[in-house]
Structure 1
């Protein structure tokens, strides 16, 4: 009796995979992309650049670097932020 109960409780990897995935996030068996992704590649790049630009600008101000270096880093951070915002809006 106990062996029958254990046999019914075991889930093979194939069955587990079928129950674990939702329909929206499934990939096709050939290794293709997901059926529906949340953000496009351009929007993800835009978010990455805006985050990096903000981090560079704020950290250069917080570290209180020399005037020339600080203004250069703030300028680079601002340019990255603006490029990222444009990519996000365009995507």
Structure 2
């Protein structure tokens, strides 16, 4: 075997016992029960309404803070802060309701 092939195998993590390790792995049936049929991961317990609420809350905060930070004209700034506040409140209501 030449040096080039050896170096590629070393970089790729080739091991002469790789097949022995693959055959030794087992699937435990208890692990399959953790996943439900919807395909969601077990740690993801937020409902869809709560996720939408968090999204609207963060968007409302972003709109309000950015309109104040950009120092827009008085009417535009007040409209943007109003829209941001409404989005923020709707997001909180959806999060609490969900």
Q: TM-score, normalised by structure 1?
A: 0.71
Deviations 1:26-80 (A, max 9, x none): 354xxx3337531000000000000000000000000000000000000000000
Which of 69, 79, 88 is the aligned partner of 1:72? 79
CA drift of 1:24 comes to 7.3
Q: Which residue of 1 aligns with 2:6?
A: none
CA gap of 1:24–1:34, structure 2 versus 1, over 3 A, is farther
Q: After the TM superposition, which parts of structure 1 deviate over 6 Å for at least 4 consecutive aligned residues?
A: none
Structure 1: unaligned runs, 5 residues or longer: none
User: Considering only CA atoms, is the larger Rg found in Structure 1 or Structure 2?
Assistant: 2
CA gap of 1:35–1:64, structure 2 versus 1, over 3 A, is closer
Q: Give the root-mean-square deviation of aligned CA atoms.
A: 2.9
Give the Cα separation in 2 of the matches to 1:61 and 1:48: 20
Structure 2: unaligned runs, 5 residues or longer: 1-14
Q: Which residue of 1 aligns with 2:35?
A: 26
Secondary structure of 2:77's counterpart equals: helix
